[in-house]
Structure 1
Amino acid sequence: MSETNGRSGTSNVRSLTDAIRKARVAESERTDVVVELREAERARLDMLADELRNVFAEVPDGDEQFIFQISGGTQPRLWIDMTSLVMMARDRRTYRFVKDTRFGRTVILETADLDDMADCVTQYVAERIIERERALEADWLAERILRADEPQKAEKPASERRAAMLRKVRDGSVQPAGQPRSSATMAAVSFLGGLLVGIAALLAYAWFKIG
């Protein structure tokens, strides 16, 4: 009996209040860690943005394909354009430059060196600007070609009509102005002339007979 009473006397007394307090402390500590990590990621992205500030300022006016903005949220990101961004890797020290394509997300460069990442982003921006200039040049050239083809398309029916007329002339179905008539017309005229001559001869013969 004494042994049982001894065990019951040393049993732990559990308190829900103490458990809630401990859980809140642990949650606060985890939140502090997350906030610190997020702030550390944002600070590194800010450093990269500072390195690229002059590059962003030199983008031609009217080129609206770039964003150049750091977004908040659970994981801060430096957006370059609508499909490419720089974020920090899991170690929070390595920059990761990624691009979304129709084949999935592609890692362009992953490095812990700030200068290397800044150079890579600068090269990417330059290539995108050149691609845009080529696209605008192609659009301008295509529009110019279409405009040049419009007069030819307007004259095409007339040229087709002339070609059809020439084919009819060669076939003999149409006679050009100022040219002698066709053989069929000449034969008809000769037949009518002969018929008139015959009638005149018969009338002359009858006249002499009666007289």
Structure 2
Amino acid sequence: MSEAPDSSTEPRPVRLREALRQARIEAADRTGVVVDLRDAEVARLEILNDALDPLFNEIPGQIDLFDRGISQGETPRLWIDIVAHVVMGRDKRQYRFVQDTRNGRIVLAESHEAGAIVKAVTDYVARRMVERERAFSPARAQAPIAAEKPRQGSRVWTFALGFVLGALSLFGVALYESLKPISF
């Protein structure tokens, strides 16, 4: 009679996703020092992209601020949204999270660790979502309209008062000139 294999001694099956991630890390470490640095950059950005999956899965579907993806141009980038992206540093091992602004590019975070960049991206996403909520909040949208109504009324009264005072001044000057004795 054959015995059933002991389940405690069987190796736990490794998920394919975890194995692929580990293979990418190993390949990135090997190629990071070798000639093909661009492939190492893309591999590291893919690893970071995978690490960001839980964050982007939490974002509600109706929020369309973020469009994450890797562009594989001359300088590979992991785009978070239209103005922020992660690029590899000069040593091809350091992540650099940057944001393009009207005044140029600013570095939001730099680290050799993907976890630190995930935290920085999480903070950035949270700030962007709060900005969006504030921009679309009904109380904020109605406040300027309510404050503007008294101003419009006061502008009309200011104009009317200025008009009446100007007309009275002209009438006064005309009356003064007409009452002056004519001298030859």
Q: TM-score, normalised by structure 2?
A: 0.58
SS in 2 for 1:81: coil
SS in 2 for 1:99: strand
2:72 is aligned to 72
- Identity value in percent: 47
**1:30-59 deviations in whole A, cap 9, x for unaligned?**
xxx997211100110011111110111111
Counting helix residues as a fraction of each chain, which structure ranks higher?
1
1:141 deviates by 3.5
1:138 deviates by 5.1
1:1-211 maps to which residues of 2 (within 5 A)?
36-137=36-137, 141-142=141-142, 145=145
* Aligned Cα root-mean-square deviation (Å): 3.1
1:143 deviates by 8.0
Contact 2:85 2:98 in 1 (8 A): yes
SS in 1 for 2:64: coil
Contact 2:134 2:140 in 1 (8 A): no
What is the alpha-carbon distance in structure 2 between the residues aligned to residue 122 and residue 129 of structure 1? 11
What is the alpha-carbon distance in structure 1 between the residues aligned to residue 137 and residue 127 of structure 2? 15
1:120 deviates by 0.6
What is the alpha-carbon distance in structure 2 between the residues aligned to residue 35 and residue 56 of structure 1? 33
What is the alpha-carbon distance in structure 1 between the residues aligned to residue 133 and residue 67 of structure 2? 18
Distance 1:78 1:35, change over 3 A: farther
Runs of 4+ with >3 A deviation? 138-141, 143-146
Letter aligned with residue 135 of structure 1: A
Q: TM-score, normalised by structure 1?
A: 0.51
2:27 is aligned to none
| Structure 2 unaligned regions, length at least 5 | 1-32, 154-184
1:102 deviates by 1.1
Larger Rg: 1
SS in 2 for 1:98: strand
What is the alpha-carbon distance in structure 1 between the residues aligned to residue 34 and residue 73 of structure 2? 12
